[in-house]
Amino acid sequence: MDISFVIEKFVLVAIIFGISLVIAMYSTYAERKVAAFLQDRLGPDRAGPFGILQPLADGLKMFMKEEIIPTHANKWLFMVGPGLAMLTACIGTAVIPWGSPITTAAGRIIPLQVTDINVGVLYIFGVVSLSVYGVMIGGWASNNKYSLLSAIRAASQNISYEVAMGLSIIALLLVTNTMSLKEIVEMQHGWHWNVLYQPLGFLLFIICAFAETNRAPFDLPECETELIGGYHTEYSSMKLGFYLFAEYINMFVSSAVMATLYFGGYNYPGMDWVLTQVGPVIAPLIGTAVLFAKIFAFIFFFMWVRWTIPRFRYDQLMHLGWKVLIPIAIANVIVTGIVIAIVEKF
Amino acid sequence: MEPLTSKKKILIQKPLNFAERMYLPALGKGLAITISHFFKKEATIRYPEVQREMSINWRGMHSLKRDENGKERCTACGLCALSCPAEAITMIAAERKPEEKDLYREEKYAAVYEINMLRCIFCGLCEEACPKEAIYLDGPIVPSDYLRKDFIYGKDKLVEEPLVKK
C-alpha cells in the first residue's frame, strides 16, 4: 500500500465528512426557510444576507447553553447517547460512490468512493439499524418517563420499518444481482435508473426512509404534544445539538442512498456526450454535481412532506408498517422474481 | 325533539373507496397545495426596514404646530386640556415678552405644555377643540419606554422643528 493511496483516501474522507456536516448545518437553515415559504412567511433573514449565517448563530447558541446532566441519569450512557447518534449518522457515507473515477493526466485512477465493499447495501442497512441505539441509549439514560417512552417508540418503529425496507431492497437486488453500491450505480448508466424498474420498491423504500430517519409524518419519537421533546427532553447544550444534527445527517445519508440505489447516483442522460466534450477529469465532477442535485431534491422533498402531512397515530404507524408495507413488499419481491425468471427464460 | 329549523341535514359517512384508502392520491393533492404556497408572495412585512402606510385618519403622537413664519401657534387657552376626556394635557401659560415676538404668535403662550402619553387615548378631541390649529395627532406611534415619567412628553418632544431659514 503506497503512501499516495493513504493520502488520497484521507483527503476523500475529510472532504466527505466536511460536506456532510456543512449540508446538515445548512439543512437546519433550509428547513426553516422551506417551512416559512410553504406557510407564506419569510423565515430567518436577520443573520447575514438572507439569514445565511443563521446556522452559525444557532450553533453558537447551542455551545453557550448550560450543560445539564440530571442527577438520576446514568451519566456514562447519557454522554454516550448523542455521540453514538452522531457516529452512526456519519459513517454511512463511507460506501456511497460520489462520482465515477477520475483519470488524471498521469494515468492514475482516483475513485470517488471511500471504500467499495461488496456488501455495500448491507453495510448501509446495518448502519441505519445502529442509528436507533443513540436514541434508545439517550432516552433510557435520561431516567425520564417521556424520554423512555420515546426511546421505546423509536425502537419499535425502526424495527417495524426495517423489515419493509429490507424487503424492498431484496426486490432491488434481484434486479441488480449485486450488493456493491458501485456496481449498482454503474448499471444505471445514462437513464437506466432503477426507479424505472422498481417504482413500487422505491415508494416502499422512501416511506421506510422517512420512518427510519424519524422525520414527519413518522416523527413519533419526538412529538412535542405527547412527549414534551421526546428522547432528548433532558438534553441541553451541544448534546442536544448533536441529536438534532445527527437527524439532519441521517436525512442527508438516506437521501444519498435513495439517489444512489434508485435514481442513478451520478449518472444522468447524455453523460457519454458530456464525457467526450469536457474530458475525463471534469466529467466525473459534473456527475458528482448531478448526484448532489438529486440529494438536495430529496432533502427538499423530506421537508416538503414534513409541512404537508400530519403525524401518524401510533396504531396507524404500526398498521401501515406491518399490515400494509410488508405484504406489498413481499408481493413486490415475488412479482419481480417471476418477471425476471420469465425475461431470462425467453 | 322537534327540529327548530328546517336546515337539518343528515350526514352519511360513506366507507372509503379504494383510491381513498390508498392514501397516496390525497397525499399528492396535499403536496400540490403546499408547493403552490411555496411560490406565493409572503404576507410578512420586514418591520423596522419597511413600514406599512397608516390609514388617512390615523392618529399618532401629537405635534404642536408653528405658523408660516415659524412662530408657535399655541396660545395656551386650555381648550385642549378641557376637552381631553383622559385628562392627559396640562399647561402653564405665560406672557410673551417683546423680544420673544419671533417665537410666539400671540401675546400669551404655553410656557409648559405636557401630555401624559400613558393617559392619552388618542381620541383626537384636542385637535378638534383647538381654535388656533396648533395641535395635530399626525406623528408616528408613541415609542415604548421603561419609566412612567418618561411618558410625560414636554414641549421638547411635542413642538415641531423650527423652520429652516432660506
Question: Of A129-143, A147-161, A221-235, which range is least confident?
Answer: A221-235
Q: In a 10 Å sphere around its CB, with 0-12 CB exposed, 13-18 middle and 19+ buried, how is residue B9 labelled?
A: exposed
pLDDT score at B166: 53
Nearest in space to A304 (alpha carbons), one of B112, B31, B77: B31
pLDDT score at B114: 92
Question: Of A113-127, B57-71, B100-114, which range is least confident?
Answer: A113-127
Whether A102 contacts chain B with CB within 8 A: no
* A40 to B31: CB separation less than 8 angstroms, yes or no: no
pLDDT score at A105: 67
Q: What is the mean pLDDT of residues A203-227?
A: 82
pLDDT score at B121: 92
Model confidence band, residue A1 (pLDDT cutoffs 50, 70, 90): low
Residue pLDDT, tens place only, B115-130: 999 999 999 899 899 9
Residue among B31, B40, B46 minimizing CB distance to A304? B31
Residue pLDDT, tens place only, A83-134: 888 888 888 888 888 877 777 766 677 777 777 788 888 888 888 888 888 8
B88 is in an annotated binding site: no
* d(C-alpha A268, C-alpha A274), whole Å: 10
* B46 to A38: CB separation less than 8 angstroms, yes or no: no
Model confidence band, residue A263 (pLDDT cutoffs 50, 70, 90): confident
Q: What is the mean pLDDT of residues A259-275?
A: 81
The answer to whether the beta carbons of residues A92 and A56 sit under 8 Å apart is no
Size of chain B in residues:
166
* B34 to A308: CB separation less than 8 angstroms, yes or no: yes
Domain around B146: 63-158
Instruction: Provide the 10 A C-beta neighbour count for residue A327.
Output: 12
Q: What is the 3-state secondary structure (H, E, C) of chain B?
A: CCCCCCCCCCCCCCCCCHHHHHCHHHHHHHHHHHHHHHCCCCCCCCCCCCCCCCCCCCCCCCEECECCCCCECCCCCCHHHHHCCCCCEEEEEEECCHHHCCCECCCEEEEEEEEECCCCCCCCHHHHHCCCCCEECCCCCCCCCCCHHHHEECHHHHECCCCCCC
Asked if residue B37 belongs to a domain, the reply is no
On chain A, the residues whose CB falls within 8 A of the CB of B34 are: 38, 304, 307-308
pLDDT score at B51: 83
Residue among A34, A40, A309 minimizing CB distance to B43? A40
Q: What is the mean pLDDT of residues A203-214?
A: 87
Q: Nine-digit cell at A300? A: 427538499
Q: Nine-digit cell at A72? A: 438520576
Does the pLDDT of residue B85 top 90, yes or no?
yes
pLDDT score at A262: 87
Higher pLDDT, B77 or A190: B77
Question: Of A131-135, A229-233, A285-289, which range is least confident?
Answer: A229-233
Number of domains in chain B: 1
* d(C-alpha B150, C-alpha B137), whole Å: 19
Q: What is the mean pLDDT of residues B86-95?
A: 90
Asked if residue B75 belongs to a domain, the reply is yes
CATH of the domain at B142: 3.30.70.3270
Residue pLDDT, tens place only, A21-37: 888 888 888 888 888 88
Question: Of A42-56, A78-92, A185-199, A204-218, which range is least confident?
Answer: A185-199
Q: In a 10 Å sphere around its CB, with 0-12 CB exposed, 13-18 middle and 19+ buried, how is residue A10 labelled?
A: exposed
Residue among B34, B40, B43 minimizing CB distance to A304? B34
Residue among A39, A42, A45 minimizing CB distance to B37? A39
- Cα–Cα separations (whole angstroms), residue A19 to A85, A249, A299: 18, 10, 15
Model confidence band, residue B147 (pLDDT cutoffs 50, 70, 90): very high
Whether B148 contacts chain A with CB within 8 A: no
Model confidence band, residue A189 (pLDDT cutoffs 50, 70, 90): confident
- C-alpha B25, offset from chain centre: 49
Model confidence band, residue B165 (pLDDT cutoffs 50, 70, 90): low
Compute the half-sphere exposure of residue A87: CA atoms within 13 Å on the CB side of its CA: 10
* A37 to B35: CB separation less than 8 angstroms, yes or no: no
* d(C-alpha A45, C-alpha B44), whole Å: 12
Does the pLDDT of residue A275 top 80, yes or no?
no
List residues bridging with B64 in a β-sheet.
B135, B159
Q: What is the 3-state secondary structure (H, E, C) of chain A?
A: CCHHHHHHHHHHHHHHHHHHHHHHHHHHHHHHHHHHHHCCCCCCCCCCHHHCCHHHHHHHHHHHCCCCCCCCCCHHHHHHHHHHHHHHHHHHHHHCCCEEEEECCCCCEEEECCCCCCCHHHHHHHHHHHHHHHHHHHHHHCCCHHHHHHHHHHHHHHHHHHHHHHHHHHHHHHHHCCCCHHHHHHHCCCCCCHHHHCHHHHHHHHHHHHHHCCCCCCCHHHCHHHHCCHHHCCCCHHHHHHHHHHHHHHHHHHHHHHHHHCCCCCCCCCHHHHHHHHHHHHHHHHHHHHHHHHHHHHHHHHHHHHCCCCCCCHHHHHHHHHHHHHHHHHHHHHHHHHHHHHHHHC
On chain B, the residues whose CB falls within 8 A of the CB of A40 are: 37, 40-44
Asked if residue B69 belongs to a domain, the reply is yes
Number of domains in chain A: 1
Does the pLDDT of residue B146 top 90, yes or no?
yes
User: Which residue shows C-alpha cell 399655541?
Assistant: B74
Asked if residue B25 belongs to a domain, the reply is no
Model confidence band, residue A280 (pLDDT cutoffs 50, 70, 90): confident
Q: Taking all residues of chain A, what is their mean pLDDT, rounded to a whole number? A: 84
How, if at all, do strands B63-64 and B135-136 pair?
antiparallel
Does the pLDDT of residue A297 top 70, yes or no?
yes
Domain around A182: 3-345
Report the side by side order of strands in the sheet with B152-153.
B89-95, B108-116, B152-153
